[in-house]
Structure 1
Amino acid sequence: MSAVRNRPRPPARTPPAHRGRGLRRFSAGLCAGVPPCGSVSPTGGTATTSADGPAHGGGIHVLDGADCDALAATMHPRFLTALLDRTGRVTDTIDLLTVATWLPGAAETELREVTDPVHPRAVSARRRRDGVRVWEADGGVLVLGRGVADRWEVAVEVDEGARHRGLGRELAAAARHLVPPGEPLWSQQAAGNARSIRAFQAAGYRPVGSEVLLRPGVPWPDGARS
C-alpha cells in the first residue's frame, strides 16, 4: 500500500466493504499473474498501490506539483501518466466506483449460466477477475467474479437490439441475488457512460468514489473490456 491515506468512517448506509479492506490486497489473477496496481479515490480519501511499494519514487513529487485538491491528486492526469510510465502499465479510463448490498431470494430476470470456459465474455473478464462466472439472458450477459481486494464485482452487457428496455438495470439488479449473503457487490462504470451509470443506480448501486486499474500493456481479446 502506498501514497495518501485518509479514510474517515463513511455513513452507515454505505456497505462496510467501503471501509478498511478496500485496497489491503489485490486478487492474485487481476493482472494475469503480474502484481497489479491502481488508484482509488473514495469519498473523503485516496489510496494508490503499486508493485513497487510505497511512494512510487517520483510519484509523490508529481502529487505535490499537481496543483489541485489533495483528495483529487491521485486521479490527476499528471500523476496517472507518471504512474503508468513508472510501472509500464496501461489503463482504459477513470471509472465511477459503485456498490450495492446483497439481496435475498431469486432474481426476477431469467438467467442461464454459461459453462463454456472460452466464452468471449469469460475470457475477457478473467483478465481482471478471478472465479469468473457468466450468465446469459435474452439480449444480455452478466459477468460475476472476484476483483480488487477479493471483492465481488459485476459487469453487464446488453445487445444493441435489446437496449432502451431496462435490461441493463434488470441484469445489474439480478447480480445482487447471486453473491453470498451479506456480501457487498461492486461495479465500475466509465464516467462518460451515462446509460450504464443510470442503469446501475436504478438497480440500487451507490457511487462511492473513482478508480483507475492499471494492467500489463497487452491488448484485450478482440478489443473486449469488462
Structure 2
Amino acid sequence: MGRTLRDILDSAARGQFPAADGGTTIVPQHGERDAGVIAFTAHAVVFTGEDPAWVRAQLAAADSDPLAAAMHPRFLTALLDRTGRRTDTIDLLTVASPLPGPPPLPLVEIDDPAHPRVARALEHRDEVRVWAADGDGRDRDRDRDNGSSVGTGTGVLVLGRGVAGRWEAAVEVDPAARGRGLGVALATAARHLAPAPVWAQQAPGNARAVRTFQAAGFRPVGAESLHVR
C-alpha cells in the first residue's frame, strides 16, 4: 500500500486495495482544502493534518467495532469538531478507467467562471471544466444509431481535480430529461474526457445516481466522508 493518499487512490483505481486487516491508515492531507475518511473493505484511511496519536485515541474512544470505528458518528464528530470542518453525507466512492475516442454525445463547453455550476464546482475542485448536453432532438438520429435513448431536456457534466488531485466527475440532468439515458451518456462521456481514472461520489440513498454511474462502468471501491472548511 502506498504511503500517501495519492498512492492509495492510484492503487485503488487499479484494483489494488489496502489489506483487509481491520486496520486504519493515517496519512497527511494532500492539500489544505480536503480532509476526511475513506473506508475500503475492512480497512480505513484517515487523511488529516491532525496528530496521528490523537486520531488513534479518538478511534479507540469511539467504542465501536474496529472495522467500523473510522466511520462511527462519534469519531467523525470528534474529528469535525477538532478541525472546524463540515461534512454532508457519507458517499459511495466509485471509479472508472478512461475510454478512448470522443464522448458518446455532443457536448458544448461552458467557459464562464461566473456560471453557477462552474462557480460551485470551483469551490471543491481545481482545473474545472463544464459541458452542457442538449437533448432537444437535433442529434436524435445519431443517438438512435448509437443505441442511446436520449430525449428532450438538458444535462451538465462537471470534470475537475478533487481529493489528492484525482479526476472527479459530477452529472446533473434536468427533471424533464431523466429516464432517457442522458445521465448515463454524460457519466460515460467523463471517461472519454478524463486523461486518467475518473472518480465519482454518490449519496447511497440517491439510487438513481448510483444506478447511473454503475451503468456507465463506474465500480464501487469504498465509502468516503469528505470534510471541507
* Fold shared per TM-score above 0.5: yes
Residue by residue, what CA displacement relative to the aligned partner does 1:95-144 show, whole Å, maximum 9, x if unpaired? 00000011001111111111011111111111111100000012110000
Deviation at 1:152, TM superposition (A): 0.6
Name stretches of at least 5 consecutive residues in structure 1 with no aligned partner: 29-33, 217-226
Residue by residue, what CA displacement relative to the aligned partner does 1:36-85 show, whole Å, maximum 9, x if unpaired? 31111122321112222424x2x433322334332321111111111111
Q: How high is the sequence identity, in percent, across the aligned residues?
A: 55
Look up the equivalent residue of 1:124 and give its one-letter code: R
Look up the equivalent residue of 1:42 and give its one-letter code: F
1:84 alignment counterpart: 80
Q: Distance in 1 between matches of 2:165 and 2:180?
A: 32
What RMSD in Å do the two structures reach over aligned CA positions? 2.5
Question: SS state of the match for residue 176, structure 1?
Answer: helix
Closer, same or farther: CA 65–209 of 1 in aligned 2, 3 Å: same
1:103 correspondence with 2:118: no
Q: Distance in 2 between matches of 1:54 and 1:147?
A: 23
1:115 alignment counterpart: 111
Closer, same or farther: CA 66–25 of 1 in aligned 2, 3 Å: closer
Look up the equivalent residue of 2:74 and give its one-letter code: R
Instruction: Tell whether the 8 Å contact from 2:58 to 2:75 is kept in structure 1 after alignment.
Output: yes
Q: Distance in 1 between matches of 2:172 and 2:70?
A: 29
Instruction: Tell whether the 8 Å contact from 1:135 to 1:143 is kept in structure 2 after alignment.
Output: yes
Name stretches of at least 5 consecutive residues in structure 2 with no aligned partner: 19-25, 135-153
2:44 alignment counterpart: 46
Instruction: Tell whether the 8 Å contact from 1:24 to 1:149 is kept in structure 2 after alignment.
Output: no
Q: Distance in 2 between matches of 1:60 and 1:174?
A: 41
What does 1:109-148 align with in structure 2 at a 5 Å threshold? Answer: 109-138=105-134, 139-148=154-163
| TM-score, structure 2 normalization | 0.78
1:201 alignment counterpart: 214
Closer, same or farther: CA 158–26 of 1 in aligned 2, 3 Å: farther
Q: Distance in 1 between matches of 2:64 and 2:174?
A: 40
Q: Distance in 1 between matches of 2:209 and 2:224?
A: 16
The structure having more radius of gyration, on CA atoms, is: 2
| TM-score, structure 1 normalization | 0.79
Q: Distance in 2 between matches of 1:43 and 1:120?
A: 37
Closer, same or farther: CA 135–53 of 1 in aligned 2, 3 Å: farther
Q: Distance in 2 between matches of 1:53 and 1:18?
A: 27
1:158 alignment counterpart: 173
Aligned length: 197
Deviation at 1:24, TM superposition (A): 6.3
Q: Distance in 2 between matches of 1:51 and 1:27?
A: 9
